[in-house]
Structure 1
Amino acid sequence: MGFFTHGSADAFGPVLKGQRLYLRPPTSSDYPAWSQLRAESRAFLEPWEPKWPADDLSRMAFRRRLRRYQRDIREQDGYAFFVFDSSNHALLGGLTLSNIRRGVTQSCSLGYWMGECYAGRGHMTEAVRIVVQFVFGNLRLHRLEAACLPTNQASIRLLEKVGFQREGYARSYLCINGAWQDHLLYALVSSDLRGGETVVGSELAVQL
């Protein structure tokens, strides 16, 4: 499906590549494209995200994000990726793996966002499939979890298309857009994908 590499000149962490797009950790040079895409997509994104701070799109707030992302990678607590079009390197959206838990759990949580002008084209479906292989193949985790609002039909379709199973309904689960809201709980475990599109247990090819 793709490959990842460590030690890119522009990225702190792995770079994942698919057929139409690639994922890499955010860098300071991404700020102009990120702030523009988020600003243009604000009304589209706000109903599904935590309430935006007043300075959310400022350069200083972006620098704080980068420090947090880099700390998470160093401590192996999580990975943040920006999603880019391979043909023109346009920023399309973002994806995060958070709360990586080892020991008897071997799991993490998935989150994602897409710029409004790029939504509905299958980009995030491809991005999630690439990350699924990274989670089960390279990180060697057992379980990938995701949650979405019951009214977010686009996210429900994406998760179920990739193979996530609906496991429950959590009341007042996350504070979204300033209010505690119920969520549908989804998960994918390594055994779910045996025989499917993603080869579980095999790593993406590594280039150094």
Structure 2
Amino acid sequence: MSNTSSRVELHPLTLADQDEFCSLVRASADLHRPWMQLPATAEEFRTWMRRFEDGTNRGYLIRVRETGAAAGTVNINSIIRGRYQGASVGYAAFAPSAGQGYMAEGLTAVLHHAFNDLRLHRLEANVQPGNKASLRLVERLGFRYEGLSPAYLFIDGAWRDHERWSVTATAPWVPDPSLPEI
């Protein structure tokens, strides 16, 4: 699941990634706080992985092609079919690889996968207003600002406001069979 010109590859997140993932989350605590909370223990990871069982959420690791190291993680969350054909995307860099452009390449691969393989029409990214690096990333990747969602997610002990950004598939786009014709 990758673009051959990219320095990264997408790999579906599996239970076998537990130790590496949790270790990288712990090493990235200062980078992630207060923007997000990811599972940092084996028990949290196993609980968190249950969200991917029914296919409405998909989890991926962004791996550096040359070394195989995990540079970040991306989720495609709450996939809705029918007339919506969309989902939200959540992502986080891991500190050892942060600032090297891997997340931009990884999210570009996720967009390609979401629009071409999963045949989604729309992805949303919800970002806390103070997370300037993440806001620059979604804007650079072509997401459009849609507005502020007050008290959107419960993170770090409080309900946090988030800016809502979206991107839609461009032509030619092949719809999922679940899209009604009328």
Q: How does the TM-score come out when normalised to structure 1?
A: 0.77
User: In the alignment, which of 5, 16, 30 is matched to residue 43 of structure 1?
Assistant: 30
Task: Name the SS of the counterpart of 1:72 in structure 2.
Answer: coil
* Displacement of 1:17: 4.7
Q: What corresponds to 1:110 in structure 2?
A: 89
User: 2:41 aligned with 1:58, yes or no?
Assistant: yes
Task: Name the SS of the counterpart of 2:135 in structure 1.
Answer: helix
Please give the alpha-carbon distance, in whole angstroms, between the structure 2 residues aligned to 1:100 and 1:128: 17
Aligned length: 173
Cα RMSD between the aligned structures?
1.8
Please give the alpha-carbon distance, in whole angstroms, between the structure 1 residues aligned to 2:50 and 2:130: 33
Q: After alignment, is 176-185 or 159-168 more displaced?
A: 176-185
* Displacement of 1:157: 0.6
| Aligned counterparts, 1:63-142, within 5 A | 63-69=46-52, 71-73=53-55, 77-142=56-121
Q: What corresponds to 1:201 in structure 2?
A: 173
Q: What corresponds to 2:123 in structure 1?
A: 144
Q: Which runs of 5+ in 1 are unaligned?
A: 5-15, 195-199, 203-208
Task: Name the SS of the counterpart of 2:129 in structure 1.
Answer: coil
Deviations 1:56-103 (A, max 9, x none): 42223322333332x133xxx121001111111111110000111111
Q: Is the 8 A contact 1:101 1:107 kept in 2?
A: yes
Q: What corresponds to 1:25 in structure 2?
A: 12
Q: Is the 8 A contact 2:147 2:165 kept in 1?
A: yes
User: 2:144 aligned with 1:161, yes or no?
Assistant: no
Q: Is the 8 A contact 1:24 1:82 kept in 2?
A: yes
Please give the alpha-carbon distance, in whole angstroms, between the structure 1 residues aligned to 2:152 and 2:50: 27
* Displacement of 1:34: 1.2
Q: Which runs of 5+ in 2 are unaligned?
A: 175-182
Q: Is the 8 A contact 2:51 2:57 kept in 1?
A: no
* Displacement of 1:26: 1.9
Q: Is the 8 A contact 1:168 1:184 kept in 2?
A: yes
Q: How does the TM-score come out when normalised to structure 2?
A: 0.87
Percent identity over paired residues: 33
